Amino acid sequence: MASKNLQNIILLYNIILICGLCLVYSKAELPRFEHPIKPDGSLSILVVGDWGRRGAYNQTEVAAQMAKIGDQVEPDFIISTGDNFYEDGLTGVDDPAFEESFSNIYLGPSLQKQWYNVLGNHDYRGDVLAQLDPILRKKDSKWLCLRSFILNTDVAEFFFIDTTPFVDKYFTNPKHHKYDWRGVLPRDEYLFNLLKDLDTALKESSSDWKIVVGHHTLRSAGKHGITFELEERLLPVLQENNVDLYVNGHDHCLEHISSPDSPLQFLTSGGGSKAWRGNIRPWSPEELKLYYDGQGFMAMKLTKLLFLHFT
């Protein structure tokens, strides 16, 4: 890293197959939440994406491994990078897929923490408002899903961003899929306001670490590769505001790509269930620090130094 030397980031790759919640006022338009850290000043997180398959494609096995690692690292909360319910999101707040793909899968004691979720493209194929409905928190108190929001801790600030509306093909060539754009249209206005609010929030942030979470890839050697709409519109905002990490799902793999021209690091955690074996694009070995094409998740421990564990 430039502003934060890369030697201050220690990456440990162990590949295994496979709170208090308070909404507070923010000057920016994005909702803001606060989450406490451990008494020793550290913060532990699990990150998983692309998971909701009613236990199929090793989702149950990944959840079991998450629980085991969770017992060791004692996560303060869990981040989902989207595609929470396959193939077509939820049909409504009473869809049994919520329990069958979430509540009945992530049963380990260490996973009974707050989950902060963003939406993926598959979630937009269903009833988006159902995933955002507070009634799901009544069904399972650890669930929290918004389109975009900010999570502040004393160690780092997380900016969760709704990336699906950026992607042109979901609007111009949806094929046989139907997307739920309620709350998004008119699209240009929605994206303009989102980027403006994100830029404002990042500029206001005094956190040592700025971490942006979205579903779609910005840099990836996986099947989806670069999301060019995000590269054009989101990436400049991240670089201008010295964001440290962009964390995403969408590609069903685990990877870490470094940026050659800025401190920004790209982390993919999309191995929550179905993996895409052998699907890797050529990438500069100087930038591609890790690529694993199987199931898994990411464990992250933050202090004044940043420790990342891929599992």
Enzyme catalytic residues? 224
Three-class SS of residue 103? helix
Interstrand relation of 245-248 and 265-269 (parallel, antiparallel or unpaired): parallel
Pair 65, 311: CB distance under 8 Å: yes
Contact between 27 and 21 under an 8 Å Cβ cutoff? The reply is no
d(C-alpha 175, C-alpha 182), whole Å: 19
Cα angle 90, 96, 100 (rounded to 5 degrees) comes to 100
Decide: 126 and 83 in contact? Cβ < 8 Å. no
With beta carbons less than 8 A apart as the criterion, state whether 305 and 42 touch: no
- Nearest to 254, CA basis, from 227, 282, 235, 275: 275
Residue 184 CA to residue 41 CA, distance in Å, equals 38
What backbone phi and psi angles, to 5 degrees, belong to 101?
-105, -10
Helical spans, DSSP H, in the chain: 59-73, 97-98, 128-132, 135-139, 169-172, 187-204, 228-233, 235-240
CB neighbour list of residue 10: distance below 8 Å, 6 or more residues apart: 305, 306, 307, 308
